[in-house]
Amino acid sequence: MSVDQKVLLQVRDLKKHFPIYRGVFQRQVGAVRAVDGITFDVHQGETLGLVGESGCGKSTAGRTILQLYEPTAGSVVFDGVDLVHIKAEEMRQMRRKIQMIFQDPYASLNPRMTVGEIVGEPLMVHNMASGREIEERVKDLLDKVNLNPSFSSRYPHEFSGGQRQRIGIARALALQPSFIICDEPISALDVSIQAQVVNLLEELQQQFNLTYMFIAHDLSMVRHISDRIAVMYLGVLVELADRNTLYHEPLHPYSQALLSAVPIPDPILEEQRSRVILQGDVPSPANPPSGCRFRTRCPIAEIGLCDLTQPEFREVTPGHFVACHKVN
Amino acid sequence: MPDVLLDVQGLETQFRTPDGVVHAVNGVSFSVKEGETLGVVGESGCGKSVTMLSVLGLIPSPPGKVTAGKAFFNGHDLLQMPREELRHVRGAQISMIFQDPMTSLNPVLTIGRQLEEPLILHLGMNKKQASDRAAELLEMVGIPNAKDRLKDYPHQYSGGMRQRVMIAMALSCSPQILIADEPTTALDVTIQAQITDLVKRLRDEIGMTVIWITHDLGVVANLAKRVLVMYGGFIIEESPVKDLYANPSHPYTIGLLGSLPRIDEAERQRLYSIEGMPPVLYRKPEVCPFAPRCKWVMDRCWKENPMLTEVSPEHRVACWVDVKTGRAR
């Protein structure tokens, strides 16, 4: 990763809290701190992986960056434009450049629209094309994602999960975006189909010089597709590093545990590996632990230090960020 | 030589659907030895779960029907057994845990009540004994304050804890075989590691036989001693675990292993992908079910379905092609 690479997306101390209401008067009694202050950059042309377990806020982070949720605090600067403070119409224009691919290919396509309408809709909404031109563009897009262009008059239910995900990708590509947030795009698919979709995403990235943010819980897939990886736990980033650095020298105890929990498809290696098994479950983001959020499950937590202050997310070596009191 | 505990022969299961009869399992034979851990691997719709459900008589009928086969457990054919007798085998001698711990527990009964039920039903314990044993079981699967938590309802437990409860319940009558159907698929990796660790520990402590159904070749590498790979309702490869990963011999197994990114991969390589998608079996395949997606395909593959044949000791493959040479076997 060259240092002089252009920063495409700059996220600073981004927060998204969902209020909890209770009682007759629906007073706010608390908040689910789904995303609670995350800071990172995404460089032009790279893939940034965002991993974490369910409920850690990774999907909320993706949606908040896209302004699908209004951020509680913080800033999101894309290509020099502050997305949090621009007007709705300007944001609509920006959405051409930032697109999203969703997890569930069954729920994210309108069952009453044909594939042609689904893929062509963004072109129409943004007045990028009309009439015959849309048809031509749709055929072209379907071809790019390796679907037969003649499928454009069919409906989503006629397709398998992998094919539907390709339709979602074609739709995301329609406006020629420069940045795509992929929110668990393969976790609903079978293993052999996952590889097809990941290969397609990689081909498209090269062809169109796309920048990806790839959100997933599958660490081995994230390591495969990403240039840099950010690890999230309970609403905060705990570590961010280059893909190889994170794998070979994870510094945060959570990253270490997460890596060691991923099974390797090789029985001989598996026999030799020793696992860090974490105790307990992820605490509720409505009531996170004081100090470091990981301390309740951390094997090296120190009372009087980790339970008092939240560790700062700091750069320990160039490009390697970590939030842990115990890391020098 | 340990004894064969479960011996399944020529099992076939079909489902009647509005679109036609689906041939889910098409003549599956395998056996499980005492104390062994068998992994059953395949993608959705390959028949891995249906095979096990058929053996236990848990296929909803209609629309499902076991149309052929035998399944001997301790010398008795489970498929011919009267319902009542089978109900006692299930739970007491063979127990099963399922993928989704959210839907496998009754939300309106306490955890304690649900754990005590099989103890009272199968082992004839009284309420007090059952309650004590239930607390012991919860403790065994690593739930803190077990005694107090018996009074809780399922929604008060997290996903990983619910799966622990399912395991505790499955083990409550000390079964000879535990069948685990994708028990960790719905869980996060750190919780998955906790659960596989737990099953390994219990297996070694009480010498239980385990059949672990999954699509995750990583989990199988970690747990199983022997593996069955299924595709299109057939077993297409059967092998000791180390040999399977070192010398995968069926084109599908090779593709499946190649399409997995590895956490220890050094350089970014293009993933090997199997083109096309798994078949929906409206007819019983007369030819090799993998032929349409296979890159080694030959004329013979379109004419006859290969039988499982031994390629090395205990390693059997159903394929006409020797993938090492690319020629016919």
pLDDT tens for residues A6-54? 899 999 999 999 998 988 888 888 889 999 999 999 999 999 999 988 8
Quote the pLDDT of residue B173: 84
A223 → closest Cβ in B158, B242, B263: B263
Which chain A residues are closer than 8 Å to B194 by Cβ? 277-278
Which chain B residues are closer than 8 Å to A160 by Cβ? 277
Q: Which residue has the higher pLDDT, B87 or A12?
A: A12
- The answer to whether the CB atoms of A275 and B193 lie below 8 A apart is yes
pLDDT class of A1 with cuts at 50, 70, 90: very low
A277 → closest Cβ in B193, B218, B255: B193
Which chain B residues are closer than 8 Å to A278 by Cβ? 190, 193-194
Between CA A109 and CA A154 the distance in angstroms is 12
B72: part of which helix (H) or strand (E)?
Answer: strand B64-73
Kindly identify which residue of chain B lies nearest to residue A267, measuring between CA atoms: B221
Q: What percent of chain B has pLDDT over 70?
A: 99
Q: Distance of CA B240 to CAs A5, A269, B10, B248, B258, Å?
A: 49, 15, 21, 11, 19
Residues 6+ apart with CB under 8 A from A93: none
pLDDT class of B1 with cuts at 50, 70, 90: low
Return the biggest CA–CA distance within chain B. Answer: 67
The answer to whether the beta carbons of residues B233 and B289 sit under 8 Å apart is yes
Average pLDDT over residues A84-111: 89
Nearest partner of B247 among B301, B324, B325, judged by Cα: B324
* Beta pairing class for A236-242 and A228-233: antiparallel
A235: pLDDT strictly greater than 90: yes
- The answer to whether the CB atoms of B242 and A268 lie below 8 A apart is yes
Which chain B residues are closer than 8 Å to A270 by Cβ? 221-222
What pLDDT, in 10s, does the model give residues B176-200?
Answer: 999 999 888 777 888 888 888 888 8
Pull the structure tokens for residue A23.
């009682």
Contacts by residues B199-203 (CB-CB < 8 Å, ≥ 24 positions apart): B199/B167, B199/B223, B202/B140, B202/B167, B202/B171, B203/B37
To the nearest whole angstrom, how far is the Cα of B242 from the nearest Cα of chain A?
Answer: 6
What predicted TM-score, i.e. pTM, was given to this entire model? Answer: 0.85
Strand partners, A320: A317
Q: Is A34 helix (H, G, I), strand (E, B) or coil?
A: strand
DSSP, residue by residue, B295-321: TT--GGGGT-PPPPEEEETTEEE--SE
- The answer to whether the CB atoms of B194 and A277 lie below 8 A apart is yes
pLDDT class of A186 with cuts at 50, 70, 90: confident
Name the B residues in 196-255 with CB < 8 Å from any A CB.
196-197, 215-222, 241-242, 245-246, 255
- The answer to whether the CB atoms of A281 and B160 lie below 8 A apart is yes
Average pLDDT over residues A270-293: 86
Q: Does B43 touch chain A (CB under 8 A)?
A: yes
The count of other CB atoms within 10 Å of the CB of residue B21 is: 16
B179: part of which helix (H) or strand (E)?
Answer: strand B177-181
A199 → closest Cβ in B192, B216, B270: B270
Name the B residues in 252-271 with CB < 8 Å from any A CB.
255-266, 268, 270-271
- The answer to whether the CB atoms of B190 and A257 lie below 8 A apart is yes
Nearest partner of B150 among B122, B108, B113, judged by Cα: B113
* Beta pairing class for B226-231 and B37-41: parallel
To the nearest whole angstrom, how far is the Cα of A276 from the nearest Cα of chain B?
Answer: 9
Which chain A residues are closer than 8 Å to B272 by Cβ? 195
Name the B residues in 82-101 with CB < 8 Å from any A CB.
none
Q: Which amino acid is at B52?
A: M
Quote the pLDDT of residue A4: 56
pLDDT class of A241 with cuts at 50, 70, 90: very high
Q: What percent of chain A has pLDDT over 70?
A: 99
Q: Report chain B's C-alpha Rg in angstroms.
A: 21
pLDDT class of A308 with cuts at 50, 70, 90: very high
Between CA B144 and CA A219 the distance in angstroms is 29
What pLDDT, in 10s, does the model give residues B121-139?
Answer: 888 889 999 999 999 888 8
